[in-house]
């Protein structure tokens, strides 16, 4: 690895993640490194750095051992907010300044050394596509920052300190609205629903009604 352009970089994402539309640009920006983009852990080959981005499985040790470093980007102030959908949960909690952490992946969920931390800043009016766009841009930028500082950045990595908290996986049923609450009270829920995959809905008299939300462009 005497020549940095010889680094072998892998990008691992789930095949169905919304993040995939941003990966081709990341691959382009990573040139002249040797970059492979895959969707299954079984496709992993030996390399230097693996960016695990929006991948919904925990890698076993045998797969982590394929690369010198395995990097994840997680939208919380680790060790707080480990687990699933951290950005979504914090928007629901009323937060618009969301910590984002680039760290080493290991067999424990979101428990590796921290290399970079920053923030996602929102106005409070963004819907899911806008939230994802800002998340994706920041994620790619942090990955590039890591590469630019590699391998020196490894020496400044720090262990996580403090009590761990965890967010659970969200399901389509979590998009249910409370008919006795106002739109204002539930606006943060409306911000994070997906009109196609998990739309907002409410139930009255054993019937389910689906609501789709869009922001009118000016």
**Residue indicated by tokens 């739309």:** 199
Mean pLDDT of 73-101: 98
| pLDDT reading at 183 higher than 90 | yes
Largest CA distance in the chain: 69
Look at the domain 4-167 and name its fold.
Rossmann fold (3.40.50)
3-class secondary structure, 62: helix
200: enclosing H helix or E strand: strand 200-204
Cis peptide before 79 (omega within 30 of 0): yes
The CA distance from 135 to 120, in Å, is 7
Q: Which residues contact 188 (CB under 8 A, 6 or more apart)?
A: 91, 92, 94
3-state class of 140 per DSSP?
helix
Please tell me the pTM assigned to this model.
Answer: 0.93
133-173 confidence digits (pLDDT tens): 999 999 999 999 999 999 999 999 999 999 999 999 999 99
What is the pLDDT at residue 217?
A: 83
Domain with CATH 3.40.50.170 in the chain: 4-167
Specify whether the CB–CB gap between 85 and 167 falls below 8 A: yes
Section 51-76 average pLDDT: 96
């Amino acid at each position: 690895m005497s020549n940095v352009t010889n680094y072998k970089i892998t990008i691992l994402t789930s095949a169905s993640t919304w993040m995939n539309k941003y990966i081709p640009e990341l691959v382009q920006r990573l040139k002249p490194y040797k970059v492979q983009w895959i969707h299954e852990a079984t496709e992993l080959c030996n390399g230097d750095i693996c960016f695990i981005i929006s991948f919904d499985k925990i890698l076993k040790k045998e797969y982590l051992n394929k690369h010198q470093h395995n990097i994840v980007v997680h939208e919380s102030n680790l060790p707080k907010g480990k687990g699933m959908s951290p950005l979504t949960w914090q928007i629901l909690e009323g937060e618009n300044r969301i910590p984002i952490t680039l760290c080493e992946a290991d067999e424990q969920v979101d428990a590796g050394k921290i290399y970079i931390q920053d923030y996602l800043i929102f106005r409070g009016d963004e819907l899911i596509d806008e939230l994802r766009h800002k998340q994706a841009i920041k994620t790619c930028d942090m990955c590039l920052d890591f590469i630019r500082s590699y391998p020196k950045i490894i020496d400044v990595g720090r262990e996580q300190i403090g009590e761990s908290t965890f967010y659970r996986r969200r399901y389509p049923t979590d998009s249910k609205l409370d008919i006795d609450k106002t739109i204002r009270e539930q606006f943060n829920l409306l911000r994070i629903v997906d009109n196609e995959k998990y739309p907002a809905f409410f139930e009255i008299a054993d019937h389910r009604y689906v609501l789709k939300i869009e922001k009118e462009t000016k």
